[in-house]
Amino acid sequence: MKIQLLSSSFDQQGHATLEQRLTCFLIDDRVTVDAGSIAIALTDAQRNTVRDIIVTHPHMDHIASLPIFVDDLFAQLEEPVRIYATEEVIGLLERDVFNGNVYPRFSELENSHGPVMKYIPIRVGEEFQVAHLRVTAVGVNHIVPTIGLLVSDGKATVAFSSDTAETDAFWDLTNSAPHLNALLIEASFPNSMHQLAVVSKHLTPASLSNELQKLNHKGMDILAVHLKAAYRETLIEELAALGISNLHAMDPGRTYEW
Ligand SMILES: [Zn+2]
Ligand SMILES: [Zn+2]
- Ligand found nearest the CA of 64: 2
- The span from the CA of 228 to the CA of 105, in Å, is 31
Query: 213 alpha carbon to ligand 1 midpoint, in Å?
Result: 23
Query: 113 alpha carbon to ligand 2 midpoint, in Å?
Result: 34
- Ligand found nearest the CA of 23: 2
Helix, strand, coil percent content, the chain, rounded in steps of 5: 30, 25, 45
- The span from the CA of 69 to the CA of 67, in Å, is 5
- The span from the CA of 2 to the CA of 131, in Å, is 14
- Ligand found nearest the CA of 89: 1
- Across the beta sheet with 255-257, what order do the strands follow? 117-122, 81-86, 52-54, 31-33, 25-27, 2-5, 255-257
Query: 200 alpha carbon to ligand 1 midpoint, in Å?
Result: 8
pLDDT tens digits for range 163-201: 999 999 999 999 999 999 999 999 999 999 999 999 999
- The strand ranges marked E within 164-204 are 182-186
CA distances from 98 to 19, 63, 77, 112, 158 (A): 28, 11, 18, 21, 30
- Ligand found nearest the CA of 142: 1
Beta bridge partners of 122: 86
Please tell me what DSSP assigns to residue 107.
Answer: G
Please say whether the dihedral angle defined by the alpha carbons of residues 171, 172, 175 and 180, taken in this order, is positive or negative. Answer: negative
Query: 111 alpha carbon to ligand 1 midpoint, in Å?
Result: 32
Query: 175 alpha carbon to ligand 1 midpoint, in Å?
Result: 24
Query: 3 alpha carbon to ligand 1 midpoint, in Å?
Result: 20
- Ligand found nearest the CA of 201: 1
Query: What's the pLDDT at 11?
Result: 96
Q: Are 221 and 181 in contact (CB under 8 A)?
A: yes
Beta bridge partners of 82: 52, 118
Low-confidence ranges of the chain (pLDDT < 70): none
Query: 18 alpha carbon to ligand 1 midpoint, in Å?
Result: 20
- The span from the CA of 22 to the CA of 8, in Å, is 6
- Ligand found nearest the CA of 188: 2
Query: 40 alpha carbon to ligand 1 midpoint, in Å?
Result: 20
Query: 58 alpha carbon to ligand 1 midpoint, in Å?
Result: 7
Query: What's the pLDDT at 203?
Result: 98
Query: What's the pLDDT at 127?
Result: 98
- ∠ at Cα 134 (8, 20), nearest 5°? 15
Query: 179 alpha carbon to ligand 1 midpoint, in Å?
Result: 27
- The span from the CA of 127 to the CA of 177, in Å, is 12
Query: 143 alpha carbon to ligand 1 midpoint, in Å?
Result: 7
159, 256, 254, 157: which is closest to 212 by C-alpha? Answer: 159
Query: 97 alpha carbon to ligand 1 midpoint, in Å?
Result: 16
Give the pairing type, strands 182-186 and 221-225. parallel
